[in-house]
Amino acid sequence: MKNKTVTLQHCLMTITVGLLASSSLVMAANFDLLSPEPNTVNNPGLRAPLNDGTENSHSILESFQQAEIKDKKENYLEALDLLRQNRLAEAGKKISTLLKQNPDEPEFYNLQALLDTLEKDTASAEQSYQKAIQLDPKNILAHLGVAKLALENGNLDKAKDYANKTLAINEKTINAYLLLADIASKEKNNEEVENILLIALEKVKGNVTAEIEAVKNLGKFYASRQQPEKALSLSDDLVKRYPNNSSALSILAQAQIVNNKKPAAEETLHQVIDQEKQDIYNRLLLAKLLSEHPDKEKEVFKLFDEAAEIAPDKPEGFLFKAAYLIKLKRYTEALELANKIDTLFPKLGLGTLLKGEIYVEEKKWDKALDTYQQAYQIQPNDKIMFTIVDLMTVQKKIPDAIKFLNDELVKHSKKSAVHFKLATVYQQQNDYKQAETHYKAMLAEQPDNALGLNNLAWIYSQQNNPQAIELAKKAYTQAPESAAIVDTYGYILIKQGEEEEGLAILEKAVALAPQVNDIQFHLAEAYAANDNKKKAIEILETIGKSEQNFPEKKAAASLLDKLKGI
């Protein structure tokens, strides 16, 4: 029989399953140390439970019944719950007492590390994790905690080292693979990301929860690489091996949607909700799919109402229903529901935001602006701030927008988002000097921000500033799959005489966003610069016939006339 400390570690590992919860592409970078054990059907974006990889893992919870660890388990859960509720002062007292009573219990040091992390004391958090490792060199949670801190601090080598140490303890620890994949992603090594995730999938075969996590992350990776068919193949294979697993079916449905197999996705989602009577997520996903069919209106509302009935304390069902009402232009009903949402969830400001959206749809700009300003008082965030500025811009209240943003600069501790929005406002007014000032201020805080680099590069290109190419290339390196950023880089290359390289880059931009006529126009210019008038004319004639309006439509027509000798 294992000693008491190891047994407790296994138990608490199963409980602290949210150690790596996130919805990012490769999910380790943002793992949430406090998430409760997720239901991967209702919350498919959450990280699956950690598993110690032993054959006896199914009996872990039963071991809690042993008197020798029962009290520790209860105290651990109580402290963890306080942390989840952000009751940090109470949690701190509880954890301090536990450590005094149990100075050799590594899991209580892990709790202290969680508290330190929430209080943004990363140095103390690492000390606590290292103490847990000192007491138990095979403590997986502590190793992963150190790896996470290192990753967040940009110390990729250290993060990689601790993730690999975790795998040396147990090669079936799925979260260690996901963390390594995240490191490879930050290193922009996509081949390594895929390789790590495929190895993870092979290593955890037989553990359905871990397999689902591996497939889920591979699916996100393939979607980002425009390879959705690979995600579908993996999901199909997963369901063949676990045909009645609702989480596997949910992943298959998402892969079917990405591959535009919507009728198949609808069928799969019906299977899931037939099995999972308390499922919310997949009901809402099915409702979203069915909302594309005008004859399915009754069924859509039924799904929204079921979701709201299953979880009346959660806003999702109400929000989706309100959005559907807006889509149907049933604005009076949508406003009534928005008011109900504010009554049910007064601290979130969600109903107020919905009302703002309704007024925007109705083009009632003054009401929309007033409503979004109210929402900003309830829940200030960058998205609402940007919307307020956009509404002021629509109403040509540019001085008001600039004053609002300058006032926000005084309030914000992190000013990069405000500087970015100020820069875009000035850029729209062709005030390049002020725009440059604010882009530079933003980049001083976030030197690798791809959008800031891209936009400043564009300004410099308009001024024939040779720094344009350097900034555009750096933005491209940071975001090589962003069509807009790829377009900027390619276009600046053409303008600075690098015709062949610029053409190759612009061909990539068009492949990423084939429907964007501005990018098509730039590609036509690239072909013209490379003496391929035929290709250029073909593109220009096509976008000229398009009903889509775009800023450079007149320039495109002018170039077409020039190439035809008109």
CATH code of the domain in which 519 resides: 1.25.40.10
**DSSP string of 184-209?**
HHHTT-HHHHHHHHHHHHHHTTT-HH
* Average pLDDT estimate for 216-221: 93
Q: Tell me, what's the pLDDT at 18? A: 38
pLDDT at 34 over 80: no
pLDDT band at 1 (very low <50, low <70, confident <90, very high): very low
**Element (H or E) spanning 321, and its range?**
helix 316-327
Residue 399 lies in a domain: no
pLDDT at 140 over 50: yes
Return the SS3 of 165.
helix
Q: pLDDT tens, 59-87?
A: 333 433 444 566 788 888 898 889 888 89
Q: What percent of the chain clears pLDDT 90, i.e. is strictly above it?
A: 77
pLDDT at 31 over 60: no
pLDDT at 333 over 70: yes
Distance CA 147, CA 133 (A): 13
Residue 185 lies in a domain: yes
* Domain encompassing residue 18: 1-224
Domain count within the chain = 2
Distance CA 85, CA 68 (A): 28
Reported residue count of the chain is 566
* Average pLDDT estimate for 254-266: 95
pLDDT band at 8 (very low <50, low <70, confident <90, very high): very low
> Whole-model pTM above 0.75?
no
Q: pLDDT tens, 234-257?
A: 999 999 999 999 999 999 999 999
Q: pLDDT tens, 172-210?
A: 999 999 999 999 998 989 999 999 999 999 999 999 999
pLDDT band at 548 (very low <50, low <70, confident <90, very high): confident
pLDDT band at 566 (very low <50, low <70, confident <90, very high): low
Distance CA 550, CA 29 (A): 38
Residue that terminates a domain, selected from 164, 192, 224: 224
Residue 404 lies in a domain: no
Long-range contacts made by residues 547-556, C-beta under 8 angstroms, separation at least 24? 548/515, 548/517, 550/516, 550/517, 550/518, 550/521, 551/518, 552/517, 552/518, 552/521, 553/517, 555/521, 556/517, 556/521, 556/524
Least confident range of 53-57, 121-125, 298-302, 469-473: 53-57
List residues bridging with 396 in a β-sheet: none
Mean residue pLDDT of the chain comes to 86
Residue 333 lies in a domain: no
Residue 71 lies in a domain: yes
* Average pLDDT estimate for 373-398: 94
Q: Tell me, what's the pLDDT at 28? A: 40
Q: Tell me, what's the pLDDT at 39? A: 31
Q: pLDDT tens, 530-546?
A: 999 999 999 999 998 88
Q: Tell me, what's the pLDDT at 84? A: 86
* Average pLDDT estimate for 202-229: 92
Q: Tell me, what's the pLDDT at 70? A: 67
Q: Can you read off the two tokens belonging to residue 413?
A: 């501790």
Residue that terminates a domain, selected from 197, 224, 251: 224
Residue 205 lies in a domain: yes
Residue 292 lies in a domain: no
Q: Tell me, what's the pLDDT at 316? A: 93
Three-state secondary structure of 21-57:
ECCCCCHHHHCECCECCCCCCCCCCCCCCCCCCCCCH
**Closest by Cα among 167, 179, 205 to 19:** 179
Residue 344 lies in a domain: no
Residue that terminates a domain, selected from 195, 224, 253: 224
Q: Tell me, what's the pLDDT at 412? A: 78
